[in-house]
Amino acid sequence: MTFYDKLQEVLPAGSVLKDEPMKNHTTFKVGGPADYLVLPREAAEIAKVIKLCKEAQMPYYVCGNGSNLLVGDKGYRGVIIKIGEEFSEIAITGEEIRAAAGATLTAVANRGMEACLTGFEFASGIPGTVGGACMMNAGAYGGEMKDVLQSVQVLTEEGELLDIPREKMELGYRTSVFAKKKYIVLGATILLKKGDCQAIVERMADLRTQRTTKQPLEYPSAGSTFKRPEGYFAGKLIQDSGLSGKTIGGAQVSTKHNGFVINYNEATAKDVTDLMEFVIATVREKFGVTLEPEVKRIGEF
C-alpha cells in the first residue's frame, strides 16, 4: 500500500490532494507543489496523519490559511496539514467565543460584533486564522491575542490532547509556548466583554479604513514581512534606507507601506527571498540593525 493510499484510508474522500500547488494556499500566491496536502476536519484525523508521517519518516508541516508562509518554488517534499475552512466552527456562550483553529480572525471578530462583544476588534483585519494567531500571539492596533485568550486546546506531537490555560501560554512578541513546544493548536476559548454594538461596528469600520489606506492590500503578501526590532519600526528603517519601491523580479518593497514585501508582478518565491535578503543586508549596513523575517519559509527554493 502506498503512502497516498494510507492517507486516504484515515481521511474522508476529497481530503487528500497530491502534488498540490502551494501558491493556491498562501496569501503570497507563490510556491511550488506539496507532495501531499491534507484537509482534516477533526483532531483525531490530524493525529492519524501525524502518526502515519512518523511511521514513514515523512516530513510534515501544519499551516492555516498561509498568511505568514512562503513556500519554495520547487515545493515541499512531504505532507502539508492545512487546518482551514474544514476546521472553522465558531460558537458563542455568553461572553465566551469558542473558535476552531481554522476559523479566520475576521470571522471571529464579525461574530463577536454580531453578539455585541468587545475586545476583539483589533483582530478584525488580520489575515490569519485562530491557530496561527495563538502560535504567534498576533496583534495590531493596540491589541494582542494575550489580552483575550482564556484557554487553548492543542495536540502534542505525541498525539496527546491538552487544554492550556492563559497563565501557561508564555505569550510574548510573536511567540508562545505553542510555538516553542511545537504544539498544534486545535481551537481557543476567547473571553470578551459586553459592549456597545454601534461603537464596536464603528471601531471595526475605522480599523478597516486604516488598513485599506495604509497597507497594500491590493497585492498578494504575507502582511508585515519583518518583526519589529526593539526600539525601531521595520518600515521606517527600510524607508530610511532608500528601499521604498525596490524591486527584484516580480517582488517589490511596497511604496504604500515599506514594511511589506509584495507580489507585485507574478513573483517567484526566489524573488521574494532575494528581496528580503537584500533589505536585511542594506538595513544592517546603514543602521547596524538586523531585521528578522516574520514570514516562515519552508520547502525547496
Instruction: Reply yes or no on whether the pLDDT at 125 is more than 90.
Output: no
Share of the chain above pLDDT 90, in %: 96
Q: Which residues pair with 221 in a beta bridge?
A: 262
In this prediction, residue 129 carries a pLDDT of 96
Residue 191 to residue 186: CA distance in whole angstroms: 17
Average pLDDT over residues 124-141: 93
Q: Is pLDDT at 99 greater than 90 in this prediction?
A: yes
Set of cell numbers at residue 116: 455585541
Say whether 219 sits in a helix, a strand or coil: coil
The CA distance from 193 to 172, in Å, is 23
Q: DSSP 3-state assignment of 211?
A: helix
- Which of 92, 96, 86, 95 minimizes the C-alpha distance to 64? 86
pLDDT digits 0-9 by tens, 162-219: 999 999 999 998 899 999 999 999 999 999 999 999 999 999 999 999 999 999 999 9
Please give the Cα distance from 121 to 39 (Å, whole number): 29
Of residues 8 and 158, more confidently modeled: 8
Average pLDDT of 124-132?
A: 92
Catalytic residues: 174, 224, 294
Long-range contacts of 90-97 (CB under 8 A, 24+ apart): 92/117, 95/191, 95/192, 95/193, 95/194, 96/150, 96/189, 96/190, 96/191, 96/192, 97/189, 97/190, 97/192
pTM, entire model: 0.93
- Specify the pLDDT at position 157: 86
Render pLDDT for 16-25 as a digit per residue (tens, 0 to 9).
Answer: 999 999 999 9
Q: Provide the pLDDT for residue 174.
A: 86
Which pLDDT value is given to residue 109?
97
Q: For residue 36, give the nearest of 54, 49, 51, 55 by alpha carbon.
A: 49
Max CA distance (Å), the chain: 58
Which one-letter DSSP state was computed for residue 216?
-
For residue 100, what is the enclosing H or E element? Answer: strand 96-100
Q: Which residues pair with 34 in a beta bridge?
A: 20, 76
Contact 34, 76 (CB under 8 A): yes
Per-residue pLDDT tens for 24-82? 999 999 999 999 999 999 999 999 999 999 999 999 999 999 999 999 999 999 999 99
Going by C-alpha positions, the residue among 245, 279, 239 that lies closest to residue 262 is 245
pLDDT of residue 119: 97
Mean confidence (pLDDT) of the chain: 96
In 3-state terms, the chain is what percent helix, strand and coil (to 5)? 35, 30, 40
Task: Give the per-residue pLDDT at 158.
Answer: 87
What pLDDT sits at residue 289? 97
**Is residue 184 exposed (0-12), middle (13-18) or buried (19+ Cβ within 10 Å)?**
buried
